[in-house]
Structure 1
Amino acid sequence: MPTSNQPEPVSERFIDLSRARRIWAVAAVHGDAERLSALHDAIGARFEGGDRLIYLGDLLGGGDVRATLSEALRFRRSVLALPPLYLPEDIVYLRGRQEEMWHKLLQIHFAPKPKDLLHWMLERGVDATLRSYGGDPDQGFAAANEGMVALTRWTGRLKAAMQAVPGHHAWFSALRRYAHSGPGGVLFVHAGLDPARALADQRDAFWWESGAFARAASGFEGFARIVRGFDPAGGGWSEDGAILTIDAGCGKGGPLVAVCLAPDGSLLDRLEA
């Protein structure tokens, strides 16, 4: 998938969770708002002072996008209200494949072959997000046929529709590429990782290099555990050496999983909804 070569501030890429007492990590949701609500209830009953919460990408990608984001924001408000007072960065949302595609779709008027790119993204699930903000793929293809001006107007309407829903634009703007709990701790990613690249050079590997993830089983940059929330191959829960996949197929007929980890990578709890 095309990526931008524009430099990105390091502070925008990741969150440091090294001050956490425990870390709750939620697998890919894929628009299943009901399971997310049930999982939130279970996490809420066990959440303790000093805990942190991270969603490992792909809240979107099927189901009811608006209801899913509304539920995520509702639970965020409830956690932020807990004593001691939590900070916004204590609740982390990683950018998944679906969020990355939506980001690219809103910039599709800059693509050299917008129709090809739109086809590519629709085949990979962006349709649910597009329609949730009033978009229609046929209108996108028609705009692409007319040219850049028409396509810019189309993406402008989509962006305006997203911004009109309270909290959605701010949520997209706060997405991070990865998070970790410090040296010797846990590295949290969405779907992929290329062990041949340094962490700072992973770029789109977090979304599209899922096939290389298994090679991190022997370790990566000293992290005790590397956790991902989505397996595109649908292999389910998997542990192998340093790597842990917590995706159980939510949004595709399987349950939604969350795990609770100590900052050193020890698995403390596992929940399903």
Structure 2
Amino acid sequence: MTKYESAHPSQNDIISIAETLIAKTGGRNRLEAFFGPKLRQAMDEVIDMPRTGRYCLEQIEKTEKTYIGTKVEIVLMHELGLARGNKLDAQLNGYEVDIKNTTGSNWMIPNEALNEICLLVKTSDQHGTFSVGLLRCSEENLSKGGNRDGKKNVSANGRKKILWIVKDGNMPENVFLHMEPETREKIFNAGGATKRLAEFFRSRVGIITQRYLVESVAQQRDYMKRLRRNGGAKDLLAKEGLEILWGGNKEQKMAAQLAGYRLSTKDEFICLRKADIGLGK
């Protein structure tokens, strides 16, 4: 008997879906690493920092907040390779499953999901955490009253019955949200894209940085041009004995590795002191 069977007796349908989802992510040990970055991506795409300059969910418009759930659904459907459902969002193991996300404390369950299985996702931009679970949204698991659209919350009793696949897992942090305000203001007020990028990497020496953050700071389509030599941020930092290394360059990856840092993909950068990678001052 698995831990799911002992904790959720007579729920073979939900247990079957849970085990399938775990297999799709690569196994129990991969759950956090699979879901965390995907959910971070969904939120970042709604925040849309490269175009808007915003850096957290608190800054988006109220009308946009309703789209977070849709974005989470789209990202998870794609990444998990789920077929579109006839009645609900997805089909899995022959069951219709609705995908519901909340950035608050509860979920809004629509009438069409009554007595159906829901994949419940909870994300916190502020705390950098997430949870993913399954629940059959029967009447006994939902609140008595509903909103104007007839949607109901998961009741206290229902929350106890959620089969958690991941509970309070960690997402990649929202770098700008948790940055010291003085540092953030210094970056955003540095001037043009090249100067902002130089200030950004100056504040993150020895920290691996994702491409999306570079694009977000530059807020330009040709952000890589603002990073390179010939007038880019690399030239500004070189005068200070700093070097930006890119994971898409074999020699630069090797230089980072020799200094004790691993650039795994072409979407990663790191700023290091030249003296630490054998380039002198």
Give the TM-score taking structure 1 as reference length: 0.28
Structure number with greater Rg is: 2
